[in-house]
């Protein structure tokens, strides 16, 4: 029988190993699932996890002219990691404070709507240097305002932020649906529920020719670095950490919980909004009912997989981005359903939480004999 025995002190080694074990278990179970579906596990590994690296290898082997297309898939992985890391790093801060913002998807959508408003209503002649930052700032503000609602309800009325933030996600989804079918519908769009296309000037410049990777990567890296610095070096980081670890000690230290709730909600909401703005302006180029808001939920996995640490979040975002791109690739090459990706992500979170028990407990095998 396996028994859990509490460790005297949390194990740092287990904290680092836990996500790696979780990934390994996810891959192992995923392969069993694929085998059961009658596909070759070897091909699946190739389709899911190795193809971007195969492409990279080929890139360095290939000649000048063949190169461009080979960078496309690896760049897609990094591209997907941008919104995941942006949202994930904000959520990591909130979770550290013990505040569960589950509604990043809604904040992401509001970010997209606010950025869309600026993009659609700004005069055509606005130069890119003004329009692009204006879109991103508006998006950030949109996410922030949407996050203000659950924060306010929690602080003022004691309403569970888990429920309110989650439910507001659906409100946000219908809001987006309404604007693209109603006031902002493209009059020349043949009745499709979508807005006019945004002006060229709203799009982030590309980083690599032949790919979709854009300068938003550096925005994301700057945000991650800033959050890392704030958490490690500033009083706000201290405030967030102590509130999550020992709320009473935080209160004793003079930090009011209400203010901490606002700080982390506004930060995570703002970053989700920024991600939404970036994704719609740089990738989609217009508003439509489907703008990949599920990043807001996947980022929860990213935050926990990354140990709620900014650098960990960055790595975890890449891992999750890989499952997205790998999933798409597997749909094409193996004919696996899209849901397989969601199963992968779900298993990852499940195994991660299970492995996290190892940080505070150690496993003991023992016989069931009793005195």
- How far apart are CB 252 and other proteins at their closest, in Å? 6
| Residue 128 or 241 having the CB closest to other proteins | 241
For other proteins, which is the closer residue by CB, 242 or 291? 242
Class of residue 112 by CB neighbours under 10 A (exposed 0-12, middle 13-18, buried 19+): buried
As to burial, measured by CB atoms within 10 angstroms (0-12 exposed, 13-18 middle, 19+ buried), residue 252 is exposed
The contacts of residue 307 (CB under 8 Å, 6+ apart) are 15, 16, 19
Pick 164 or 257: Cβ nearer other proteins: 257
Question: Measured from the CB atom, is 4 or 130 closer to other proteins?
Answer: 4
Q: Which of 189, 195, 192 is nearest to 176 (CA)?
A: 195
Contact residues for other proteins (CB under 8 A)? Answer: 8-10, 235, 238, 241-242, 245-246, 248-249, 251-254, 256, 366, 370-371
Q: Locate 23 and state its tokens.
A: 């990934």
Closest distance to other proteins from the beta carbon of 241 (Å): 8
What is the closest distance, in whole angstroms, from the C-beta atom of residue 256 to other proteins in the complex?
7
Q: Identify which of residues 170 and 252 has a Cβ nearer to other proteins in the complex.
A: 252
> Is the separation of the CB atoms in 356 and 18 below 8 Å?
yes
For residue 213 the two structure tokens come to: 């990777």
Q: How far is the CB of 123 from other proteins (least distance, A)?
A: 47
- d(C-alpha 146, C-alpha 152), whole Å: 10
Residue number, 13 or 370, with CB nearest to other proteins: 370
Cβ 127 to other proteins shortest distance, Å: 44
Q: State whether the Cα torsion 364-367-368-371 is positive or negative.
A: negative
Q: How far is CA 355 from CA 94, 311, 345, 347, in A?
A: 22, 20, 15, 12
Q: Closest approach of Cβ 3 to other proteins, in Å? A: 9
Residues 70-96 as b or e (16 or more Cβ within 10 Å = b): bbbbbbbbbbbbbbbbbbbbbbbbbbb
Q: Which is nearer to other proteins, 6 or 64 (CB)?
A: 6
CB of 254 to other proteins, least distance (A): 3
What percent helix, strand, coil does the chain show, rounded to 5?
Answer: 75, 5, 25
Report DSSP state, residue 155: I
Nearer to other proteins, 182 or 254 (CB): 254
Smallest gap from residue 248 Cβ to other proteins (A): 5
CA distance 211 to 289: 25
């Amino acid at each position: 029988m396996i028994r859990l025995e509490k460790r005297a002190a949390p194990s740092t080694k287990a904290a680092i190993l836990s996500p790696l074990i979780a990934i390994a278990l996810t891959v192992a179970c995923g392969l069993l699932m694929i085998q059961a579906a009658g596909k070759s596990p070897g091909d699946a590994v190739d389709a899911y996890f190795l193809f971007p690296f195969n492409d990279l290898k080929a890139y360095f082997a290939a000649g000048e002219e063949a190169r461009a297309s080979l960078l496309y898939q690896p760049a897609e992985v990094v591209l997907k990691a941008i919104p995941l890391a942006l949202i994930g790093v904000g959520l990591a801060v909130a979770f550290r404070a013990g505040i569960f913002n589950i509604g990043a998807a809604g904040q992401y959508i509001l970010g997209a709507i606010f950025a869309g408003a600026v993009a659609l209503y700004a005069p055509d002649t606005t130069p890119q240097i003004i329009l692009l930052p204006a879109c991103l700032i508006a998006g950030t503000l949109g996410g922030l305002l949407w996050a203000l609602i659950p924060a306010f309800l929690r602080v003022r009325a004691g309403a569970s932020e888990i429920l309110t933030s989650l439910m507001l996600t659906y409100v946000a989804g219908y809001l987006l649906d309404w604007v693209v079918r109603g006031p902002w519908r493209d009059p020349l769009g043949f009745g499709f529920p979508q807005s006019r296309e945004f002006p060229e000037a709203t799009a982030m410049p590309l980083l690599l020719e032949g790919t979709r990777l854009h300068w938003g990567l550096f925005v994301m890296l700057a945000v991650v670095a800033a959050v890392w610095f704030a958490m490690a070096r500033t009083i706000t980081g201290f405030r967030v950490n102590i509130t999550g670890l020992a709320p009473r000690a935080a209160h004793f230290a003079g930090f009011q919980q209400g203010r901490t709730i606002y700080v982390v909600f506004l930060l995570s909401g703002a970053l989700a909004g920024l991600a939404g703005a970036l994704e719609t302006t740089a990738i989609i180029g217009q508003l439509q009912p489907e703008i990949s808001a599920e990043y807001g939920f996947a980022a929860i996995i990213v935050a926990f997989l990354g140990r709620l640490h900014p650098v960990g979040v960055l790595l975890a975002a890449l891992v999750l981005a890989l499952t997205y791109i790998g999933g798409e690739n597997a749909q094409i090459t193996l004919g696996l359903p899209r849901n397989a990706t969601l199963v992968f992500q779900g298993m990852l979170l499940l195994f991660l939480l299970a492995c996290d028990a190892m940080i505070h407990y150690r496993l003991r095998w023992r016989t069931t004999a009793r005195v």
